[in-house]
Structure 1
Amino acid sequence: MKRKSQWSQSIQVHVQNQKSLYIFITVLFMMGVIFGAVIVNTLDPAQKEGLLNYLSYFFQGLEQNSIAESEIAFQHSMGDHLKTIGLMWILGLSVIGIPVLLVFIFLKGLVIGFTVGFLVNQLSWKGLWFAFVSVVPQNLLVIPALIIVAVSGINFSILLVRNRLIHHRGTIYPQFVSFSILVTGMAVMMLLSSLFEAFISPHLMKTAVPPVGLISHLCHLYLK
Structure 2
Amino acid sequence: MFPNKKARWSQTIHQHMRNQKSLYIFVAVLFMMGVVFGTVIVNMLDPNQKSGLLNYLGYFFRQLHEDQIAEPFVAFQHATGDHLKTIGLLWILGLSVIGIPIILILIFIKGLVIGFTVGFLVNQLSWDGLWFACVSIVPQNLFVVPTFIIVAVTGISFSLLLIRNRLIHHRGAIYPSFVSFSLLAMGMGILLIVAGGFEAYISPWLMKKVLPHTSWISSMIHLSLK
Give yes or no for TM over 0.5.
yes
Contact 1:77-1:194 at 8 Å conserved across structures: yes
Shift of 1:214: 4.3
- What corresponds to 1:105 in structure 2? 107
Question: Are residues 1:11 and 2:13 paired?
Answer: yes
Q: Could you tell me how far apart the structure 2 residues matched to 1:35 and 1:61 are?
A: 30
Residues 194 and 129 of structure 1, relative CA distance in 2, 3 Å threshold: same
Shift of 1:4: 1.7
For structure 2, the 5+ residue unaligned runs are none
- What corresponds to 1:182 in structure 2? 184
- What corresponds to 1:84 in structure 2? 86
Question: Are residues 1:154 and 2:156 paired?
Answer: yes
Q: Could you tell me how far apart the structure 2 residues matched to 1:20 and 1:195 are?
A: 32
Q: Could you tell me how far apart the structure 2 residues matched to 1:199 and 1:164 are?
A: 46
Contact 1:85-1:146 at 8 Å conserved across structures: yes
Q: Which amino acid aligns with 1:81?
A: H
Contact 1:138-1:197 at 8 Å conserved across structures: yes
Contact 2:58-2:220 at 8 Å conserved across structures: no
Contact 1:52-1:215 at 8 Å conserved across structures: no
Greater displacement, 170-179 / 155-164: 170-179
Q: Which amino acid aligns with 1:195?
A: G
1:171 to 158, 170, 173: 173
Question: Are residues 1:213 and 2:214 paired?
Answer: no
1:29-72, Cα deviation, whole Å (9 max, x unpaired): 00000010011000000000110111111111111110000011
1:114-142, Cα deviation, whole Å (9 max, x unpaired): 00000000000000000000000000000
Q: Could you tell me how far apart the structure 1 residues matched to 2:156 and 2:150 are?
A: 10
Contact 2:62-2:221 at 8 Å conserved across structures: no
- What corresponds to 2:127 in structure 1? 125
- What corresponds to 2:201 in structure 1? 199
Q: Give percent identity, aligned residues only.
A: 67
Q: Could you tell me how far apart the structure 2 residues matched to 1:37 and 1:10 are?
A: 37
Shift of 1:204: 0.3
Q: Which amino acid aligns with 2:183?
A: I
Shift of 1:215: 6.9
Q: Could you tell me how far apart the structure 1 residues matched to 2:29 and 2:21 are?
A: 12
Shift of 1:92: 0.2
CA RMSD, Structure 1 to Structure 2 (Å): 1.4
For structure 1, the 5+ residue unaligned runs are 218-224
Q: How many residues align?
A: 218
- What corresponds to 2:23 in structure 1? 21
